[in-house]
Structure formats: structure tokens, C-alpha cells
Amino acid sequence: MSRFFRRDESSDSESDYSSSSSDDFSDEEIQKKKQTTSGAGASRIARAGLDSDDSEEEVKRTVKSTKDKLADQVTELSRETLRAIRADEWHLAASSFDQLNKVVPKLIKTVSVENLPRSYVRSLAALEDALYENQKDKAALGKLSATDSRGYNQLKQRVRKHNKDFESLIAEFKANPTESNDEEEAAESEEEASDDDQAVPSSRTAAAAVPSASKGKAALSDSESEDSYWDSDSDESSSSSSDSEDDGQVGISRWLKKTTTKEDTSAKKAKKDRAQRSQRAAAAQAAAAAEGGDDDDDGFTAVGKDGKAVEAPKYNERNLNEHLLALIASRGRKNTNKFESIKSLETLLGVGVNALQKAKVLMTLISAQFDSAPSSGYLPTEMWHKVQSRLNELLSLLETNRQITILETGDSHDYEEDFEYNNATITLRGSIIASIDRLDDDFLKSLQNIDPHTPEYVERMRDTVPLYLTIVRAQGYFERSDQKDSLCRVVLRRLDHLYYRTDQVNLHVESAAAALPRISESSVVPASTAGDIEAIVHSLCTFLYLNADTQLRSHAMLMHVFNHALHKRYYIARDLLLMSHIQENVHQADIKTQVLYNRAIAQLGLAAFRLGKIQESFEHIVELMSTGHQRELLAQGVGQQRMHQLSPNEEQLQRTRQLPFHININLELLECVFLTSSMLLEIPFMASANINPDARRAPISRAFRRMLDFNERQVFMGPPENTRDHIMAASKALAAGEWEEARDFIQSIRIWSLLPDSEEITAMLASKIQVEALRTYLFTYATQFESVGLADLATMFDLPKGKVYALLARMVYHNEVQASLDEVGGVLVFSRASHDASSRLQQTALALSNKANIFADINDRMLELKINGGQTPGDRQQGGERGDRNQGDREGRPNQNRREGGGGRDGRDGRDNRDGQRGNQNRRDGAGGGHRGGRGGRRGGNVGGSGGQRRNDNSNN
């Protein structure tokens, strides 16, 4: 028992304790203790009693204001933040920072911002330096725990915005970064506490190791060793108590904070400096040993977390398999350092002595490098290049050593005798195609997440050709090893890199692939197809048609259609798409297949337009463009309006489906083609409304009709600015017969320059506009002319006479106009049916007459209200019903002849009541016919319904 627990007890207890423990001490020690306790016992008891009674008088209590309490709280939280930053405990730093943000606003209400505690400003400056100026690299961030990483990211997002209000204070502190006295004392007390904690186990160990000299024995038993331990503690406590008594501190004051002198402060600072210098020297020596590879450690030994010495592993060809299995087993564990595992695998790769060992290490190394990618991201560019180089190294190894095959169903070969491999045929367990798929997918993800309008995107695009060469090498390996499933997948990957490019670009890519060393002739792409991109794409697609499953065949077919349409082979692409019958069940396919289908259809529409097939082009893309979701359907982003309707998860899913920017179809070009095709079809159809009444009710393109109506309702229209404005202006000019103006508007659209044959397209559009302007003119004025000359039409629309004749003959044959051609006279004679058709003047007159009838009906209703004193027809009808019920016959039956007796809203609903007998019958039944409306007139029928007998008598008279 320590002397600390015995110092304030009574003399009886001390005597009892001394008598009970006299066997454990020597006689001399007992005598010394008795003399000490007898002399100081009474005074000690008196002091203890005085301390217990008057403790409140000795310790002065201070009352702090709210401002001081808040300032102390801010200071303490700032110190906690600084300690957390030094210890890399960012979750604690984030928690302290949140608490500071709650307390500081309260303190600012009582003091100004300039008078905030300096420790708070120091913590803000330290946070800013640690998060922004001295940022951690990815390796250092990877060593942080999940909670620390989360806290670090939270602080990095919030501190800069928070520090804007304290920029002047932080700048002033950085200009003069001095610590306050309180912060120095706090730092010194922490260092002292840490030093004491480190010194406790060593002192106890020494006390337990040294035997008691007073016993004079060579060895001690367990009980004696414990007594010596407690004895040493009691001696230390007695010495400390005597020191405290000598200082004059008694009672509670002994345990209060001690005041430090300048000598103590300087000694502690010197001790701290010596410890830091020794740590820096040890770190420098360790770094030099790691770089130089010296075995001499100058007396330093690396230790692990448990304090035990850690020896660097020694790799050789005999224990390579053992270390490789250990690294494979450590994959996926929580505390495994992925980058250290990669370094170890690279070391093992250099130790391997034969192809078998190197192949096994390379497969594990490639998988480990893929594992180093973030869980929700993709491989960084530098790591991606390393993986690609390792994969090429593995393919080169397999090309050189053809006796080694890697299959998913192979043997693991975890034998220690791998170093004695003698080039025998062997099959390893692994998957080359999985690495190819992951490498290609990470490349696409990186392109999705890079801004396409920056040089970084162009720099990343340079890796396309090396990746394509790796895919071609993998295809050769799968052909030699006869792996059909993997071969089909890698062929589709190769086709995926070719189908959306033009032949000029693919020719350069294939020339680089042709430079690769060919070990054997390829059965997929024969050598005879070299230099012919169309033949290469056809060979790849044909192989997939014969060997792949349904999904891969569908993808290959859609890519083949897209490639044909891209190069204006419209009829081949259309026939291939129709023979596949994929359009019948594409709505049940997966998302990627639907995207490929939409892209193929859009490219087909562009190909038809480039060939002048306006009707076919419109039919291909009308369904795609009428939905308003072209971006989503083509996997080219999400529209701005739809962006606000998606949840964060749906938005992220849409972004993962997006295609890279260089694969996209130009949506502005697609919209321009759609609107131009709609104009050339819709304007003549609208003009044919004079002959065909259905033209108004069933428009060809509802989207184009809405745009045109909206444009016509605009009060002020300036010059056209964008593509849509140019097409709307051209549509108006075409409808008015100004075909030259319409041609100029269409040809001034700049988007046509993106097409490779832009001059041919503009010439084709000018010819189409001339033809449609002629058709619009005939539809518009067919009711005004009896005949029109072919020569006049040719001159008016600048067309050859033969072309005009062919156009008119086709219109007559298809019954678009009711006319006949007079070849001798060279005129088009309109039939009588055309004259009977309503003209524009007649249509306008009919519209005016309908409006006049509507106005007359409104005036009649107003007159009725004026005559009936403001009663509506509904009120009169209800009044008539009440009169019918009150004037029923004597038997109490209600009147059933109300409909016969009049009382309708107008005279057309009434009956002619001039017959006296019917009037008498109505009077007996109480029908209540109108006194003026018996003749069925408009006004008389409206006034009826009162049900009075006098009015019926008047009607009879």
C-alpha cells in the first residue's frame, strides 16, 4: 500500500499498519518510520483536518463572465484542433472545427473580430496550410483511415470559404507567427505529460529488476519482489510529499498546477530540441539506407506496430511462390497497403528466372494494379500506362513461349518447384480478356470524365492507337490458343474502335497494326484485306455473325450498319438493317443495344439526306427527333430540363452511360437535317389544303408545324441568327413563292461545312427548293388558273423544260392536281374540279360568315336577358318546372306535356300551339305555354314557361 493512502490516517491505524507489516521491513527501517510518524503525525492530522474544514478558504474561487468562458472554450478547442492536425487525426480536427464554428459566433457578439483569441487564428492558419499549401499526395491520403479521409475532405471543402471572413487576421498571423504564453505552457505541459508517460514503464521495469539490498539475499521470491516494488513506490511518494511540504503547499493546493520558472522552460525546450534533432537524424539515416541499399544500419533497427524488430523479406527464385501466395492472400484485406503490394510484386518479377514464374507474377501484378484504382472511379493515367505496359509484356511472353497457355479453367500451379521449369506445356489459371476489357473500360471512363474542350482530352486521345495495338495482339494470342469466346469478345472490342471512324483515319491505325510482328496468319482478318478498311470491318463482322452469341451479333450488325451509313452506302446499310429484324424487339434489348440502334438509325437518316433522299431521311429520324430526348437516346448527355427531374443516382447512372465526346453524333447537324427535310415536305403539303382538306388536320411533322406557328406569332422578327431561325425564314419564303430567298437562307447555314461533301449537299438543296417551290405554286394557285404554260414555269423557277414536264406528269399521275398535260400546246390544263374547289377568297368569306353567326347568337342571348329582367334560360326553365308542378290536374299528377307546350330556350324547340284544342289541353294540364310563343317563333318560345292560366287563355284566343 502506498504512503499516499496512509498519510492522513489516524495514529491507531498507522500503528496497526506498522505492526501488521513489521515482518516485511527491517528493524532499522521500522525505527526510522516510527520516528518520522511520531514527530509529524499530530501536525499532519491537524493539517488534514484544517484542510478538510477550510479548503474553501485556501482555494480562491474566481467568477468568470460569459465572455471569458467563451474565450476559454475557443482557446481549448483551437488547441484540440492543432493537436489533431499534428497527429493526422482529421476526424477529430473536423469535429473541433465544427464546435468552433458554433462557439465563435457567440464570442463575436461580445468582442470584436480583431480581439479573438490568437490561438483561434493560429488554428485557422494551420488548417489552411495543411489543407491547401502543403497538400497530401495520393500515397499519404491512401494511408489515412476512412474516418480521417472523410474528415480531411470535409475540411478541404469548408475551410477556404470559412476563412474568407478572417483573411486579414490570418495574413497578420502568418507575417508574425509567434505563440502566446498560454499556448507555450500548454505545449510544454503536453510534452511533459508525454515524457512522464514514456518514463513510467522504464522506472517500473528497473525497480522490478533490481533486488532489495536490505534483504541481502541472492534471489527474491514473487512476494518479496512485489514488496520491493511497493517499497520503492512508498519511498518515492514520501520523498515527493516531503518536497511538497518543504514547498509549503498543503491540502488541495498540492494538486493544483505548478508554476514554471524560466530555467525550467529553457531546460524543457532544450530537451525537446535534442529529441527532434535525434529523430531527424534517424529519419535521414533510414532514408539514406533505403536509397543506397546499405546493410549497415548504424545501430538502428526497423520496428513494427507491436514494437518488434521487422526484417526486410529476402526474395529468391526458391521462395518466390511462397511470397506470391502470401501477397495474393492479402488482397482485399482492410489494412493491406496496395502500393506496397505492387512494389513487392515488381521485386518478385525481377527475381523470376523462367517464363512460368514471370507469367504468374505478371498476372498477379496486373490484377493488383487494377485494384489500386478508386472504388468509384478509374485508373489514373500514369497507372493505366503501367498496366498497359505490363499487359504487353505478358502478351510478348506468351508469344515467345507458346507452350504456356492462360485459361480461366487452368491450373493454379502453386508448386515450389517452379524454378525448375523445363519449358513443358502448361496451362495457367487466369483471364487475359478480363484485363483487356478492364483496360478499355477504364480508358473510356477517363474520356467521360475529362472536359473534351481541353488539351488534356486531346493528350488522352493519343493512347487510342497503343490500346488498339494491344487489342490486336490479344486477338492473335486467342486465335493461336483457340479460345472462341474470348476471341469473339476481343474482336468486338476491335470493331468498337473502328466502326465510328472514317476510312481515312482507320487507314493510319491499321498501318500501325500491320507493323506488328506476325507469328501466324490470322483467320479472322486475312492478309488480303490489308489497306481495305471496308473489307477489314466486313471480315470482323462476318466472324461475329458466325461464331458469337445473340447479343454480340446484334452489336456487330448495328456497328456494321453505322459504318456503311457513315460512308454513304445507304442502300447496303438499309437492307442489312431490314434483314436483321432487330427493330421488332429492340425495345426489349439492353441499354447498350438500344443506344447502338438509335445511333445506326440517326446515321442512316444522315446518309439518306446526303444522297438527296429527303422522304427517307425524314422517316428515319422523325421518331428520334420528335421525342425531345435526343441526348438521352443517343447517350450523349442529359437535357437541361430533364436534369432537374433526375435524382442524384439516376443522374450518375446517365453519366456512366454517356459515350466519349469524339464518338458523338453532332446533334445540331441532326436537327438541321430534320428541319430542312420537314420544310421541303411540309410547306407543299400545307399549300395543298385548297385541294386536300386533310392537309390541315394531319400534318406531316407536328414538331415543325409547332415551330412555324410559334415563329409566325412573333411580333418582331430580326434577321436569323441560328440554324432554326434560318430554316424558319426559308420556310416563310418558300411558302410565299420566293424560292431564291429560301435557297440563300438554307445555303447560309454554316453547319453544312461539317460534312465531307458540303458543296454537293448545298447544290442538291438548291435543286430541291426549286422543285418544291414549283409544287407549292401549283397547289396555291390551282383554283385561280384554267391553264398554265410549261415554258413560263421553267422560266419562273429556273428549271429545264424537260424537268418541269417530268414533275408535272408525276403530279398528274399521282392525282396531286386535277389537270391534264397538253403536249402540243405545252400547257397544263386544270380540270373543272379544280375550279369548283374553294379559293382563298371563298375560304375567307366562309370564315367571316361563321363569325357573324356567332355574333348574332350572342346578341340574341343578350336581348333575352334584357326582356326577362336579367333571368338566365336556366332560371326560366326552373320557373316553368315549378309552374308545371303547381298547376297540375286535379288528380295531383304532374304535367307531362311540358315539352309540347313550349318554354324552350328559342323558338325552334317549341311546338306550334295555334290549334285551340291543344291549347285547351295545355291549360287543363297546367303546361303553361308562352303567350307569344305559341307559333314556335324564336322570341315567343323563350318567354314561355310561366305556367299561368291567363296566358294560356290568351294563347287560345
- Higher confidence at residue 465 or residue 935? 465
What's the whole-number mean pLDDT along residues 115-131? 83
Q: Would the pLDDT of 910 be above 60?
A: no
913 grid coordinates: 300551339
Task: Give dist(CA 807, CA 775) in Å, integer.
Answer: 9
pLDDT tens for 806-817 read 999 988 888 888
Neighbours of 160 (CB within 10 A): 13
Min mean pLDDT across 403-412, 815-824, 838-847, 903-912 is at 903-912
Cβ burial of 567 (10 Å; 0-12, 13-18, 19+) is middle
Residue 44's pLDDT is 45
Degrees (nearest 5) of the Cα angle 144, 145, 151? 85
Q: Is the pLDDT of residue 490 over 70?
A: yes
- Which segment, 141-155, 342-356, 545-559, is predicted with the most confidence on average? 545-559
Q: Decide: 673 and 606 in contact? Cβ < 8 Å.
A: yes
Instruction: Enumerate the β-bridge partners of residue 309.
Output: 303
Q: What is the pLDDT of residue 882?
A: 52
Helix (H) or strand (E) holding 198: helix 181-209
Cβ contact 639:647 at 8 Å? no
DSSP E strand stretches across 747-864: 787-789, 819-822, 827-830
Give pLDDT tens digits for 637-677: 876 656 566 777 777 777 788 899 999 999 999 999 999 99
- What pLDDT, on the 0 to 100 scale, is given for residue 951? 39
Grid cell in block for residue 553: 451479333
pLDDT in tens, 156-206: 878 878 888 888 888 888 887 754 444 444 444 444 444 444 443 433 333
Q: What angle do CA 515, 516, 522 make, to 5 degrees?
A: 110
Q: What is the pLDDT of residue 304?
A: 55
Residues 6+ apart with CB under 8 A from 514: 530
Instruction: Pull the grid cell for residue 647.
Output: 435524382
* pLDDT score, position 867: 83
Residue 678: how many other CB atoms lie within 10 Å: 25
Phi, psi of 586 (to 5 degrees): -70, -25
Give the model's confidence band at 730: pLDDT under 50 very low, under 70 low, under 90 confident, else very high.
very high
| pLDDT tens-digit readout, 819-842 | 888 888 888 888 765 555 556 667
Burial of 134 (0-12, 13-18, 19+ CB in 10 A): exposed
pLDDT tens per residue across span 338-366: 888 899 899 888 888 888 889 999 999 99
pLDDT at 556 over 90: yes
pLDDT of 129 strictly over 70: yes
CA-to-CA dists, residue 569 to 501, 779, 890, angstroms:
15, 35, 93
- 610 pLDDT band, cuts 50/70/90, is very high
Query: Domain coordinates of the chain in residue numbers?
Result: 1-59+203-303, 64-175, 631-663, 693-823, 840-951
Q: Give pLDDT tens digits for 864-903.
A: 888 876 666 555 555 555 555 444 444 444 444 443 444 4
- Cα(622)–Cα(842) distance, integer angstroms: 35
**pLDDT per position as a tens digit, 684-706:** 988 887 666 665 667 888 889 88
Instruction: Give the pLDDT score at 40.
Output: 43
Beta-strand relationship, 819-822 and 827-830:
antiparallel
Angstrom distance (rounded) from CA 467 to CA 443: 9
Q: Which residues, at least 6 apart from 717, have a Cβ–Cβ distance to it below 8 Å?
A: 711
The predicted pLDDT at position 296 comes to 42
First vs last Cα of the chain: how many Å apart? 137
* Helices assigned H by DSSP within 313-451: 320-330, 338-351, 355-371, 381-400, 432-448
Q: What is the pLDDT of residues 731-747, one digit of tens each?
A: 999 988 889 999 999 99
User: What's the CA gap between 695 and 701, in Å, rounded?
Assistant: 11
- Per residue, the 3-state secondary structure of 610-660, as one string, reads HCCCHHHHHHHHHHHHHCCCHHHHCCCCCCHHHHCCCCHHHHHHHHHHCCC
Q: What percent of the chain has pLDDT over 90?
A: 27
CA-to-CA distance for 774 and 790, rounded, in angstroms?
11
Q: Please state, in angstroms and rounded to a whole number, the distance separating the CA atoms of residues 181 and 310.
A: 42
Q: pLDDT per residue over 57-84, tens digit each?
A: 444 566 778 778 888 888 888 888 888 8
- DSSP at 556: H
As a whole number of angstroms, the distance between CA 843 and CA 563 comes to: 51
User: Which of these, 702, 648, 655, 653, lies nearest to 675 by C-alpha position?
Assistant: 702
Query: Which one has a higher pLDDT value, 221 or 129?
Result: 129
Q: Identify the pLDDT of residue 166.
A: 82
Give the pLDDT confidence score for residue 383 in this predicted structure: 92
What mean pLDDT is predicted for residues 832-854? 72
Tell me the one-letter amino acid at 746.
I
Whole-structure pTM value: 0.60
- Is residue 793's pLDDT more than 70? yes
Mean of the per-residue pLDDT values of the chain: 74
User: Is the Cβ–Cβ distance between 910 and 939 less than 8 Å?
Assistant: no
Indicate the pLDDT class of residue 949, thresholds 50, 70 and 90: very low
Q: What whole-number percentage of the chain has pLDDT above 70? A: 66
Amino acid at 505: V
Please give the pLDDT value at position 207.
37
- Three-state DSSP class for 606? helix
What's the rounded Cα separation, in Å, for the pair 580 and 576?
Answer: 6
670 contacts 751 by C-beta, under 8 angstroms: no
pLDDT at 92 over 80: yes
The pLDDT of residue 578: 93
Q: Is the pLDDT of residue 256 over 70?
A: no
pLDDT in tens, 574-608: 999 999 999 888 988 999 999 999 999 999 999 99
pLDDT of residue 268: 64
